[in-house]
């Protein structure tokens, strides 16, 4: 829903909320790691969709010449490091 709002899509009808939540509860109860897979998938989908939005794409672009170095794909699967404790 937040991606719809950011992209200006007014008609994001989620009229079957109870069934949707019930299906997720069933999945989460059977596999405790599913929440992490679902969150990662949702982030990748949101990033992909928002990349087409000019305002978002421009705000996420770094300074000129700061392109990331291509990797072999393993870095995308690795979790981000946790911040150091203060």
Q: What mean pLDDT comes out for the span 21-44?
A: 94
Query: What's the pLDDT tens digit per position in 5-23?
Result: 878 877 777 777 888 889 9
Higher pLDDT, 41 or 73: 41
pTM: 0.53
Reference 43, options 69, 84, 80, 68; nearest CA is 80
Cα–Cα distance measured from residue 26 to residue 41, given in angstroms and rounded to the nearest whole number? 18
């Amino acid at each position: 829903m937040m991606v719809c709002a950011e992209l200006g899509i007014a008609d994001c009808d989620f009229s079957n909320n109870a069934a949707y939540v019930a299906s997720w509860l069933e999945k989460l109860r059977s596999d405790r790691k599913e929440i992490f897979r679902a969150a990662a998938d949702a982030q990748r989908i949101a990033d992909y969709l928002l990349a087409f939005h000019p305002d978002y794409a421009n705000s996420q672009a770094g300074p000129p010449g700061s392109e990331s170095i291509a990797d072999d794909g393993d870095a995308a699967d690795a979790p981000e490091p946790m911040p150091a404790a203060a």
